[in-house]
C-alpha cells in the first residue's frame, strides 16, 4: 500500500507538470496561472466547471471552481439529490498561499483519478481559487517577514486595503458581498478557509481553528465537538500530519497553556456558523517549508472530504434538524466570556524558550530552540459561558431609509416583506445610552465597545415600503446577531446607525428661559428632580446651561429620536397588509 501511494503521488506530479505547479520549488502560481489552471481542468473534464461570479474591489471577478461527479452544477438540484457541499476559500490573506496550491493539487488528483473519485460521489466540491484578488496581484517577496516561502506572494489586505477576514458582517468590500452571494446560493454544509499561522514556534505543520461549537445550533454543535473534530485529528495523524489546535498562548508561551478561539461573526468560520455551516480555518505553520504547508493543507481538506463522505447522510439529517431548531429558537446568546476555571489537558510538542542578547538592541530577546524539543501536557482553555442573551421578537421592522442595512440583509438571504401603506404601529424601541467607542479606526469604522440600552414602548410612524422581518427563518441567528445592537458584530457596533447618536435640534438660553420656567411650573415632579439635582451636584448648581439642558431633555421639545435605535421590535400579529 505504501508503494502504491508513492506511485500515485509521482503520477500526480507528472500529470500536474502539464499545468506547471511548482510548490515543491517554493513557488506559488500567479493569479493568471491559477485561473488558467482551473480553465484547463474545466475544458478537459465534464465534471468540472469554472464559474465567473460577482466582481471584487479591483474589478476582476471572483471565480468559483466546482467538481460535481454527475456533471450537475445547479445548486438547487444538487441539494435535492441529498448531496453534501464543501466550500473551500483560498487566499483571503493573499500572502498565505498554501491553500491555493493545495486546492489545485487536490482538484487535479480527483479529476485525474489519483485520488478515489468515489469520495465525491455524494459530495460536490466548490473552490474559490483566490478570494483576495487585489492582494494577490500585489505580489512581492517582502510582505511576510516571519514566513518561510514561497519566493513571491500577495499582500494581506485587499485592493481597498481592508483585511477581508474581518469583513464578513460589515461588508465594506465587493469581495465580501460577492462571497455572501456564492455562500447563500450554494449553502455549503462545510466551509474551509485556508491560512498560514503567525506567532509561536512548535513542531506541528498544521493547526486548526474550528467555529466554536457554542456558535452552532444544536445538534450540529455537539456533532462538531464530539465526532467531527476528534475524527479529523485522527485522520491527520494517520496521514503523518499530526495536528494541534491553533496556538494562542494563554499567557506568553504555549507551555503556559493555549486558549481556543471564539471568533466573532466578522470572521469567516463564525460568519458561516450563523447559518449552520460548520466552518474551519486551517492554519499551516509559517516556519515550516512551503511544500510542507501545502501538503498539510491538502491532507486536511482531504480528511474533511473523507469524514463528510463517511457521514453524508448524518450531515443532512443534522443540518435539517438544526435549521428547524433555529427557526423556532426563542433565546439567542449574543456575548460569551471565557471560563478560565475549566480546561482540558492536551499533548503538545513544542520547543524550549531560551534567551540571547540581540546584536541589534544589545538587550535580551527570547527565541524557540528547535534543537531542544519537548513533549508535555499543557492546558487547553476551550470553555466559554454565556454572558448576555435576548429573546427574539416575532418581527423586526427596519425603515427603508437605512438602505445599506437593507442591502446586506438581502445579500444574506433574509426573507422580508414591505408595508403596503403608511402606518402607525406600537412597537418596542431601544435607546442607546452612555456609548463608549474605540479610538482606533478599523476599515472606516470606530467600533462601539460598550453602551447601555433603555427599553420603551412607543407608537412609531412607518411608511409604505418599510421592511418587516419575521423571525421564523433559517437566517434567524444572523438577523438577531446583526439587528440587536448588543450583537458582537452588529450593524450598530460598526456604525451603520451612527446618525441616531447626533442631536439635530438645540435651544438658545435667552429664548428658552421663559419656556423652561413654564415647564417647571407645570411639572412638579420635574421641578423636584431639578431642585434635588442642584442641591446634590455642585457642578450642576453652578452651570446654568446644564440646568437649561436638563429641563430641555425632559420636555416635549427634546427630539424623541435622539439615540433611539432605528430597528423596532414587534410581538403579536401584524394587522397590516404586506408586500413580499
Domains of the chain, each with CATH number or no CATH: 2-328 (3.40.630.10), 345-382 (no CATH), 386-503+561-579 (no CATH), 509-553 (no CATH)
CA distances from 477 to 45, 90, 424, 480 (A): 39, 26, 28, 5
User: What pLDDT does residue 577 have?
Assistant: 67
Q: For the full predicted model, state whether its pTM sits above 0.95.
A: no
pLDDT of residue 3: 47
Q: Is the peptide bond before 524 cis (omega within 30 degrees of 0)?
A: no
In which order are the strands placed within the sheet that holds 568-570?
448-462, 423-437, 568-570, 395-398, 467-470, 417-419, 578-579
Q: For the chain, what is the largest distance between any 2 Cα atoms, rounded to a whole number of angstroms? A: 97
User: Pairing between strand 331-338 and 384-391?
Assistant: antiparallel
- Residues 463-515: tens digit of each pLDDT: 999 999 999 999 999 999 999 999 999 999 999 999 999 998 889 999 999 99
| φ, ψ (nearest 5 deg) of residue 112 | -90, 5
Residue among 88, 225, 93 at smallest CA distance from 167? 93
Task: Tell me which residue of 46, 27, 24, 43 sits closest to 35, measured CA to CA.
Answer: 43
Residue 576: the pLDDT is: 64
Give the span between the Cα atoms of 435 and 450, in whole angstroms: 6
**Whose CA is closest to 92, among 216, 271, 246, 241?**
271
> Can you list the positions of beta strands (E) in 200-303?
206-210, 243-245, 258-259, 278-284
Q: Please give the full DSSP string across 540-559, using - where no structure is assigned.
A: HHT-HHHHHHHHHHTSTTS-
Contacts of 47 (CB under 8 A, 6+ apart): 67, 68, 69, 70, 71, 111
Which three-class secondary structure state does DSSP give residue 505?
Answer: coil
Q: What pLDDT, on the 0 to 100 scale, is given for residue 417?
A: 96
Return the closest-CA partner of residue 395 out of 333, 467, 287, 456.
Answer: 467
Q: Are 179 and 267 in contact (CB under 8 A)?
A: no
> Distance (Å, rounded) from C-alpha 90 to C-alpha 109?
18
d(CA 133, CA 150): 18
The pLDDT, as a whole number, for residue 85 is 98
pLDDT of residue 339: 94
Cα torsion at 25, 297, 366, 380 (round to 10°)?
A: -170
Q: From CA 533, how far away is CA 520, in angstroms rounded? A: 14
* Closest residue by Cα to residue 102 from 121, 122, 130, 83: 130
Burial call 55-88: b when 16+ CB within 10 Å, e when fewer: ebbbebebbbbbbbbeebbebeebbeeebbbbbb
Looking at residue 32, the DSSP 8-state letter turns out to be H
pLDDT tens digits in sequence order for the chain, 580 residues long: 444 444 444 444 444 445 578 999 999 999 999 999 999 999 999 999 999 999 999 999 999 999 999 999 999 999 999 999 999 999 999 999 999 999 999 999 999 999 999 999 999 999 999 999 999 999 999 989 899 999 999 999 999 999 999 999 999 999 999 999 999 999 999 999 999 998 899 999 999 999 999 999 999 999 999 999 999 999 999 999 999 999 999 999 999 999 999 999 999 999 999 999 999 999 999 999 999 999 999 999 999 999 999 999 999 999 999 999 999 999 999 999 999 999 999 999 999 999 999 999 999 999 999 999 999 999 999 999 999 999 999 999 999 999 999 999 999 999 999 999 999 999 999 999 999 999 999 998 999 999 999 999 999 999 999 999 999 999 999 999 999 999 999 999 999 999 999 998 889 999 999 999 999 999 999 999 999 999 999 999 999 999 999 998 999 998 888 999 999 999 987 766 666 6
Distance CA 475, CA 492 (A): 18
Measuring CA to CA, which residue among 193, 179, 163 is closest to residue 53?
Answer: 179
Candidates 223, 96, 103, 89; CA nearest to 168 is: 89
- Secondary structure (3-state) at 269: helix
Amino acid at each position: 500500500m505504501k508503494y502504491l501511494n508513492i506511485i500515485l503521488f509521482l503520477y500526480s506530479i507528472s500529470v500536474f507538470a502539464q499545468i506547471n505547479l511548482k510548490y515543491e520549488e517554493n513557488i506559488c502560481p500567479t493569479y493568471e496561472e491559477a485561473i488558467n489552471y482551473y480553465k484547463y481542468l474545466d475544458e478537459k473534464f465534464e465534471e468540472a466547471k469554472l464559474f465567473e461570479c460577482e466582481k471584487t474591489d479591483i474589478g476582476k471577478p471572483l471565480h468559483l471552481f466546482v467538481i460535481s461527479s454527475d456533471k450537475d452544477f445547479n445548486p438547487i438540484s444538487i441539494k435535492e439529490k441529498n448531496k453534501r457541499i464543501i466550500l473551500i476559500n483560498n487566499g483571503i490573506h493573499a500572502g498565505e498561499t498554501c491553500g491555493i496550491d493545495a486546492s489545485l493539487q487536490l482538484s487535479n488528483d480527483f479529476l485525474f483519478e489519483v485520488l478515489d473519485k468515489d469520495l465525491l460521489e455524494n459530495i460536490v466540491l466548490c473552490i474559490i481559487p483566490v478570494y483576495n484578488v487585489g492582494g494577490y496581484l500585489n505580489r512581492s517577496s517582502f510582505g511576510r517577514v516571519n514566513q518561510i516561502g514561497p519566493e513571491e506572494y500577495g499582500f494581506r489586505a485587499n485592493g481597498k486595503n481592508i483585511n477581508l477576514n474581518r469583513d464578513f458582517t460589515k461588508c465594506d468590500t465587493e469581495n465580501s458581498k460577492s462571497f455572501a452571494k456564492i455562500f447563500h446560493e450554494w449553502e455549503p454544509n462545510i466551509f474551509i478557509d485556508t491560512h498560514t499561522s503567525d506567532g509561536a514556534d512548535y513542531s506541528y505543520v498544521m493547526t486548526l481553528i474550528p467555529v466554536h461549537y457554542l456558535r452552532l445550533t444544536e445538534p450540529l454543535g455537539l456533532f462538531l465537538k464530539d465526532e467531527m473534530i476528534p475524527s479529523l485529528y485522527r485522520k491527520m495523524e494517520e496521514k503523518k500530519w499530526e495536528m494541534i489546535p491553533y496556538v494562542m498562548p494563554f499567557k506568553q508561551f504555549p507551555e503556559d497553556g493555549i486558549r481556543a478561539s471564539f471568533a466573532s461573526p466578522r470572521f469567516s468560520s463564525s460568519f458561516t456558523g450563523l447559518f449552520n455551516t460548520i466552518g474551519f480555518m486551517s492554519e499551516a505553520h509559517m516556519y515550516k517549508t512551503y511544500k510542507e504547508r501545502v501538503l498539510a493543507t491538502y491532507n486536511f481538506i482531504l480528511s474533511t472530504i473523507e469524514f463528510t463522505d463517511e457521514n453524508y447522510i448524518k450531515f443532512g439529517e443534522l443540518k435539517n434538524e438544526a435549521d428547524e431548531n433555529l427557526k423556532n429558537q426563542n433565546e439567542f446568546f449574543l456575548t460569551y466570556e471565557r471560563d478560565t476555571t475549566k480546561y482540558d489537558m492536551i499533548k503538545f510538542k513544542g520547543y524550549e524558550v531560551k534567551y540571547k542578547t540581540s546584536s541589534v538592541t544589545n538587550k535580551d530577546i527570547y527565541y524557540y530552540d528547535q534543537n531542544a524539543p519537548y513533549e508535555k501536557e499543557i492546558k487547553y482553555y476551550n470553555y466559554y459561558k454565556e454572558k448576555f442573551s435576548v429573546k427574539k421578537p416575532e418581527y423586526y421592522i427596519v425603515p427603508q431609509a437605512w438602505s445599506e442595512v437593507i442591502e446586506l440583509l438581502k445579500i444574506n438571504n433574509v426573507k422580508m416583506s414591505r408595508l403596503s401603506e403608511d402606518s402607525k404601529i406600537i412597537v418596542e424601541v431601544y435607546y442607546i445610552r452612555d456609548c463608549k467607542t474605540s479610538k482606533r479606526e478599523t476599515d472606516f469604522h470606530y467600533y462601539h465597545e460598550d453602551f447601555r440600552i433603555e427599553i420603551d414602548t412607543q407608537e412609531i410612524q412607518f411608511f409604505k415600503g418599510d421592511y418587516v422581518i419575521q423571525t421564523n427563518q433559517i437566517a434567524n441567528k444572523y438577523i438577531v446577531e446583526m439587528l440587536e445592537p448588543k450583537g458582537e458584530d452588529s450593524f450598530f457596533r460598526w456604525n451603520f446607525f451612527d446618525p441616531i447618536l447626533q442631536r439635530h435640534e438645540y435651544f438658545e438660553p435667552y429664548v428658552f428661559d421663559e419656556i423652561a420656567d413654564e415647564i417647571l411650573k407645570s411639572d412638579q415632579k420635574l421641578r423636584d428632580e431639578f431642585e434635588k439635582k442642584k442641591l446634590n451636584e455642585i457642578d450642576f448648581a453652578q452651570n446654568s446651561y446644564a440646568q437649561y439642558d436638563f429641563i430641555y431633555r425632559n420636555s416635549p421639545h427634546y427630539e424623541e429620536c435622539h439615540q433611539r435605535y432605528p430597528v423596532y421590535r414587534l410581538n403579536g400579529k401584524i394587522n397590516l397588509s404586506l408586500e413580499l
